[in-house]
Structures are given as C-alpha cells and as structure tokens.
Amino acid sequence: MEHEQEPKGEGKAIIKLKGPSADQIWALLSDFFNLNKWLPGIDKCNRVEGVSGEPGCIRYLAGTIIPPPDGDSVSWANEKLLSIDPMGRTYTYEMLENNMGYGSYVGTMRVVSNSDDGCMIEWSFVGDPVKGWSQDVFVSYCELKLQTIAKKMEEAIQVGH
C-alpha cells in the first residue's frame, strides 16, 4: 500500500538592491564555497568535494546560524550544488546531512536585473521547515538572512571587493 507524502513547503524571499548590477552581485553569490563571507552565523564554508561552480560539488557549512535542536553549540550542514546557469544567473542546491533540524530542502538563488538602477536577489526553496518552525517563520528567517547577504555584498562592491 502506497502512502501519500505530505506536500513540501515552498517559499521565496526577494530583495531589491539599488546600485549594484546583476553581474556584480552574481560574481559574489555564485562562489559556492564562500557563503561565509556574506552570511553572518556561518563561520566556515569549506569544500568537501568537487570544484566550486560545477554541479556535484559539496560544501560544508558550520557556525551558529540556527541552534541545533540536539543542544550542540555548532550547527553544520553539507550542501550539494545541483545545477548552475551563469547566463541566467541562477543555481540550485540541496541540503544533505545537517544537525539543524532540516528535513528535505532544495534552494535556488537567482539574480535578476532590475532596469538600470540595480538588481534583485531571489532565494526560493522547497522542503521541510526547520523542526519546530512554521513555514511562515522559516520564510521570515530567510528574508532576514537575504537582507544581510545583500547589505554585505553592496558594501563589498562599494569598497571595490
């Protein structure tokens, strides 16, 4: 007898940036092994295998981004790059093992030109929210993190990265 799977939650966070071009933001965001430069709470972002920017590469993230439910002081995850489209300025990744309470999770980062005055970063995802979090809380969390990423990237571009 087959069991129906519960539908996965979906969400999207979007932030508009005035000033930096889509190409400038993509150059920073597409470096799969350097998320720690842009997202506070991630202290390490190391290559596990593969070449950054090539599908199949895996990164190890560690820090204090989401307190693990097991009481451990360091949260960690392995994430695999599933696909990347430099022309479309988008990549999709999957969270593999983690200790933060995630079930399944696939995220997509996309940078879109926004006329002549900047660009937008879209972070969409499908999967299970962190255990104990509602889907709305998880989307709000992602929106806050995306704001931080965008601000740090804008600052880096202003000082000549």
Distances (CA, A) of 125 to 14, 16, 97, 118, 129: 12, 18, 17, 23, 10
- pLDDT for the residue 87: 96
Cα distance between residue 129 and residue 108, in whole Å: 15
Query: What tokens does 128 get?
Result: 């299970």
What is the predicted pLDDT for the residue at 129?
72
State the DSSP string of 103-138: -SEEEEEEEEE-TTSEEEEEEEEEEPPPTT--HHHH
Structure confidence at residue 69 (pLDDT): 63
The pLDDT tens digits of the residues spanning 112-161 come to 998 778 899 999 999 887 778 888 888 888 899 999 999 999 999 987 75
User: Do residues 68 and 54 touch, judged by C-beta distance below 8 A?
Assistant: no
* Per-residue confidence band for 103, with pLDDT thresholds at 50, 70 and 90: confident
| Helix (H) or strand (E) segment spanning residue 96 | strand 90-98
Structure confidence at residue 6 (pLDDT): 47
Most confident region among 17-21, 98-102, 108-112, 117-121 by mean pLDDT:
108-112
Whether domain 9-158 has CATH 2.60.120.10: no
Residue 141: predicted pLDDT: 87
Q: CA dist 142 to 115, 124, 147, Å?
A: 25, 9, 9
Q: How far apart are CA 10 and CA 136, in angstroms?
A: 10
Confidence class of residue 29 from pLDDT cuts 50, 70 and 90? very high
What does the pLDDT average to over 3-18? Answer: 75
pLDDT of residue 67: 67
Nearest in space to 78 (alpha carbons), one of 53, 54, 49, 108: 49
* N- to C-terminal Cα separation, the chain: 57
> pLDDT tens digits, residue range 49-97?
999 889 999 999 999 877 666 666 788 999 999 999 999 999 999 999 9
* Residue 92 or 1, more confident: 92
